[in-house]
Amino acid sequence: MSQMTGTTGGAPPTAGTPLEREARSSRTLKKHRRITPYLFLIAPLALLITFTFVPAANLIWYSFTDWDGIDLEKEFVGLENYIEIFTEPEVFRVFFVSLYYIGASFLQMGIALYFATILSFNTRFRNFFKGVLFFPYLINGVAIGLVFLYLYQPDGTLDSLLKAVGLESATTAWLGDPDAVNVSLAATSVWRYTGLNFVLFLGAIQSIPNQLYEAADLDGASKWQQFRFIIAPGIKRIISLSFILAISGSLAVFEIPFIMTGGANGSSTFVIQTIQSAFQFRQVGFASAMAVVLLLIVLIVTFIQRKLVPDDEVNLT
């Protein structure tokens, strides 16, 4: 029997000495440890490639075609869609609309930083005011659009308030006047998103050690000096993050103007124009080019921000 199985003295041929078995076991364990992380990465990488990189590659390819979204044939048109974006006045004008929201986002960051600084100190009813400031961000965008439609309608709430304080001459068609519609919509965005910036700033300020404030108080530093030399440097990363979010969010505004005006009266934004081009006018190739331009703008802004405000090196040792 031992001759048929090729064993010597009853021991298996691959068993070896205990030292050899331990060495083989160690090598197998190290091999498994090297492979295991890659096995865990297979599923997320497959999902990332399938639902992010492949659609992005298709988007770039469509941007060089005249595809209408239905036809199986896609004719290559080169840079024609990109040239049309920057030469067609009706399309290029949406970039100027974004300037209203960029300006409003900086105002929004200023308001949020002001209240975050004030409420980070011992202030009466500060928890109540924190809730008041953050509450608009929790409301559904459609509901906010409907509420502000009543606020801005002719002889609506805003006009009534202005007339009550003797400013009847300031009333106008807030959503019908091309000179006022973007200001009205940008103000609505400020009201809604100030709470988000407020929470980000407040969390960053509260992460600053209290010892720094106590030392500043002992040295006789004023609240402004504490903000300038402790708070502002301490939350620099959050400010730079908010800057990127403000620029990208201003270029990608959709919900509020689409609900309140549908892009009418000169309030069409870049995203509204893109969606209308793709699904209303069947210009999927052109809309894809607009989406690529928006992506490039966000990447350029992010690159510039990272160069101007680089992250500090973190030493964990």
Tens digit of pLDDT for each residue in 51-69?
Answer: 999 999 999 999 999 888 8
Higher confidence at residue 157 or residue 1? 157
Question: Is pLDDT above 70 for 187?
Answer: yes
Q: What pLDDT shows up at residue 313?
A: 58
Report the C-alpha gap between 247 and 102 in whole angstroms: 6
Helices and strands in the chain: count of H runs, count of E runs: 16, 0
**96, pLDDT greater than 60:** yes
- pLDDT confidence of residue 71: 83
Phi then psi dihedrals of residue 11, to 5 deg:
-90, 140
Instruction: Express each pLDDT in 252-278 by its tens digit.
Output: 888 889 988 888 888 888 889 888 888
Q: What is the predicted pLDDT for the residue at 26?
A: 81
Structure confidence by residue, pLDDT tens digits, 63-88 = 999 888 888 888 898 889 999 888 88
| CA–CA separation, 317 and 314 (whole Å) | 9
189 burial type by CB count under 10 A (0-12 exposed, 13-18 middle, 19+ buried): buried
Mean pLDDT value of segment 32-48: 89
The model's pTM is: 0.76
Per-residue pLDDT at 246: 84
Confidence of residue 6 (pLDDT cuts 50, 70, 90): very low
Please give the torsion angle defined by the CA atoms of residues 14, 18, 20 and 24, in that order, rounded to the nearest 10 degrees. 80
